[in-house]
Chain A
Amino acid sequence: MKSNTKHTKLSKSEKQRLKEKTISFILLLIICIIWVFPFLYMFGMSLKTDVDIGTNPTSIFPSAGNWTLEHYLGFISMKGDRIDDLPIWMINSIVVTFLSVLFTLIVDTLASYAFVFFKFKGKNTIFAILLLSMTIPTAISMTPMFTMYASVGQAIEGLANNRAYVMMWLILPGVANVFNLYLMKNFFDSIPKDIVESARSDGASDFKIFYKIVLPLAKSTLMLVSLFAFVSSWNDLLWPQLILSGKDSTFQTITVALTGYASGDSWEYKGIAMATSVFALIPILIVFIITQNKMIDGLATTGVKR
Chain B
Amino acid sequence: MEINFNEQLNEYNEFDEKRIKNSFVSIQDLEKIYPNGVKAVYDFNLDIKHNEFIVIVGPSGCGKTTTLRMIAGLEDISSGGVFVDEELINYKPSKDRKMAMVFQSYALYPQMNVFDNIAFPLKINKFPKVKIDEILKYNNEILELFKNSEISKIIQVLQEIQNKKALKLSQNEHLMMRLKISEGASNVLLEMNIKDFNNFNNEVEAFKNKLSNEILNEKKYLENNNLKVNEQYEFIENGEKVIVYDKLTKNEIKQKVFEAAKILDLGPYLDRLPKELSGGQMQRVALGRAIVKNVPIFLMDEPLSNLDAKLRLSMRSEIVKLHNKIKATTIYVTHDQTEAMTMADRIVVMSKGFIQQIGSPEEVYNHPKNLFVAKFIGSPSINVIEAEYDNGNIFATNEINFKLNEKFISEHNEFYDNKIKIFEEKLENFNTESIEFIRKILSCVINETNVMNFPTKKHKHFKRIRNLINRNKSVEVGIEEKIEANRLLESLKDARNNAHKVYLGIRPENVKVEKFNQNKEYNNAIIVKPTVCELLGADYLIHFDYEGNDFVLKTDPKCDIKTSDLIVINFSYEDMLIFDSITGDIIYE
- Which A residues contact B (CB, under 8 angstroms)? 192, 194-195, 197-204, 208, 212-213, 216-217
Contacts and interface: CB of A to CB of B under 8 A. Distances in A.
A201 B72 contact: yes
A201 B120 contact: no
Nearest to A209: B124
A201 B111 contact: no
Give the top 9 A-B pairs by smallest Cβ distance, nearest first.
A203-B95, A198-B107, A194-B107, A202-B121, A216-B111, A201-B94, A203-B125, A194-B103, A194-B105
A213 B109 contact: yes
Interface in B271-302: 289, 293
Nearest to B73: A201
B247 to A, nearest CB: 12
Contacts of A204: 95, 120, 124
A122 to B, nearest CB: 13
Nearest to A194: B107
Nearest to B299: A201
B55 interface: no
A213 B110 CA distance: 9
Interface string B107-125: 1111100000000110011
9 contacts: A194-B105, A195-B107, A195-B108, A197-B94, A197-B103, A197-B107, A198-B289, A201-B72, A202-B124
Contact of B74 (A192, A200, A202, A208): A200
A200 B94 contact: yes
A201 B99 contact: yes
A202 B95 contact: yes
Nearest to B123: A212
B101 interface: yes
A192 B107 contact: yes
A243 B85 CA distance: 66
B92 to A, nearest CB: 11
Interface in B541-574: none
A123 B341 CA distance: 44
B350 interface: no
A199 B120 contact: yes
Contacts of A199: 109, 120
B73 A202 contact: no
A195 B74 CA distance: 12
Interface of B: 72-74, 94-95, 97, 99-101, 103-111, 120-121, 124-125, 289, 293
Nearest to A200: B94
Contact of B293 (A194, A197, A202, A212): A202
Nearest to A208: B124
Contacts of A208: 124
Name B's interface SS.
loop
Nearest to B101: A201
A66 to B, nearest CB: 55
Nearest to B110: A217
A21 B100 CA distance: 56
Nearest to A306: B105
A219 to B, nearest CB: 8
B109 A195 contact: yes
Contact of B121 (A192, A194, A203): A203
Given A203-B121, A203-B124, A203-B125, A198 B101 contact: yes
A201 B99 CA distance: 8
Nearest to B116: A212
Contacts of A198: 101, 103, 107, 289
B110 A197 contact: no
Nearest to A305: B110
Contacts of B99: 201
Contacts of A203: 95, 121, 124-125
A204 B112 CA distance: 15
A203 B295 CA distance: 13
Among B74, B97, B106, the most chain A Cβ lie within 10 Å of the Cβ of B74
Given A192-B105, A195-B109, A217-B111, A201 B100 contact: yes
A118 to B, nearest CB: 14
A23 to B, nearest CB: 41
A200 B109 CA distance: 12
Nearest to A197: B74
A204 B97 CA distance: 13
B157 to A, nearest CB: 36
Given A194-B105, A197-B74, A202 B110 contact: no
A80 B121 CA distance: 64
A198 B110 CA distance: 13
A154 to B, nearest CB: 49
B245 to A, nearest CB: 12
Among B94, B106, B107, the most chain A Cβ lie within 10 Å of the Cβ of B107
Contact of A202 (B104, B105, B106, B120): B120
Nearest to B286: A198
A217 B306 CA distance: 23
B93 to A, nearest CB: 8
A217 B125 CA distance: 22
Contacts of A212: 120, 124
A298 to B, nearest CB: 15
Contacts of A194: 103-107
A200 B124 CA distance: 11
A192 B108 CA distance: 10
A204 B73 CA distance: 14
Contacts of B105: 192, 194
Contacts of B293: 202
Contacts of B73: 201
A276 to B, nearest CB: 42
Contacts of B108: 195
Nearest to B76: A119
Nearest to A196: B107
Nearest to B109: A213
